């Protein structure tokens, strides 16, 4: 599904100095779902665009049957090294999030985390991503999606697109994410840091529940 051009762009962006390097700290919202006062019971989780594995490894450490998928081979290699260091064994798969069925990703996922994957997909990959994710999600599953509304290269994502595409899901919450919080998850060059501090990328977090 991902064209050669898309794969090349993703790999270049991953290695770019403008791409935030993961600090390894899970998103506050993921921690809230896993450890908060209304914590979900451990189940099966899917981390899309898992990068260096900060969420897949975190979920595995907290008793979840976690699977991480990323298109970039170097990112998956880093995630596997992180998992070994942390003493856990999530499934970590190098592949296309628009072709999850071909990758052998298990279904029945109670939680799906997308911390910066969907917002970079071209339209035709989004067309495939939504039914694939829906098929692999258990009834009542939660989808936590973090994306930039603005970006000079990536397409970005906004609430109206999510509600239009995810017809079998209900949007529970949409909230703007402060640049200071974003900078805790990824460490980049000074120009990138200033951009997040000034809110140029307009990051948002969405929580959806599968209803059918």
Convert the pLDDT of each residue in 164-195 to its tens digit: 999 999 999 999 997 678 777 776 666 666 77
- Mean confidence (pLDDT) of the chain: 88
Going from the C-alpha of 127 to that of each of 29, 36, 41, 130, 142, the distances in angstroms are 26, 33, 31, 6, 20
pTM across the whole model:
0.87
Q: In whole angstroms, give the CA distance from residue 189 to residue 114.
A: 23
| Distance between CA atoms of residues 29 and 206, nearest Å | 10
> Is residue 9 very low, low, confident or very high in pLDDT (cuts 50, 70, 90)?
very low
Per-residue model confidence (pLDDT) at position 151: 72
Q: What is the pLDDT of residues 11-54, one digit of tens each?
A: 445 555 555 567 788 999 999 999 999 999 999 999 999 999 99
Residue 120: pLDDT over 80: yes
What domains does the chain contain, in order, with CATH numbers?
4-210 (3.40.50.150)
The whole-angstrom separation of Cα 39 and Cα 34 is 5
pLDDT value for 23: 74
The H or E element containing residue 144 is strand 137-148
Higher pLDDT, 7 or 149: 149
Q: What is the pLDDT of residue 155?
A: 79
Q: What is the pLDDT of residue 188?
A: 65
Vertex 210: Cα angle to 206 and 212 (nearest 5): 150
Higher-confidence residue of 130 and 17: namely 130
């Amino acid at each position: 599904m991902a064209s050669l051009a898309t794969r090349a762009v993703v790999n270049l962006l991953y290695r770019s100095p403008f791409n935030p390097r993961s600090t390894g700290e899970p998103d506050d919202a993921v921690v809230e779902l896993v450890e908060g006062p209304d914590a979900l019971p451990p189940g099966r989780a899917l981390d899309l665009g898992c990068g260096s594995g900060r969420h897949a490894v975190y979920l595995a450490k907290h008793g979840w049957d976690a699977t991480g998928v990323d298109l970039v081979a170097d990112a998956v290699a880093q995630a596997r090294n992180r998992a070994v260091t942390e003493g856990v064994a999530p499934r970590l798969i190098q592949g296309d999030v628009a072709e999850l069925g071909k990758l052998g990703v298990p279904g029945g996922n109670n939680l799906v985390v997308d911390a910066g994957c969907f917002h970079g997909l071209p339209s035709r990959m989004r067309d495939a991503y939504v039914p694939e994710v829906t098929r692999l999600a258990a009834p009542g599953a939660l989808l936590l999606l973090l994306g930039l509304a603005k970006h000079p290269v990536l397409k970005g994502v906004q609430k109206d697109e999510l509600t239009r595409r995810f017809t079998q899901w209900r949007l529970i919450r949409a909230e703007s994410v402060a640049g200071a919080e974003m900078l805790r998850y990824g460490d980049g060059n000074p120009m990138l840091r200033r951009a997040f501090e000034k809110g140029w990328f307009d990051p948002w977090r969405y929580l959806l529940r599968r209803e059918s």
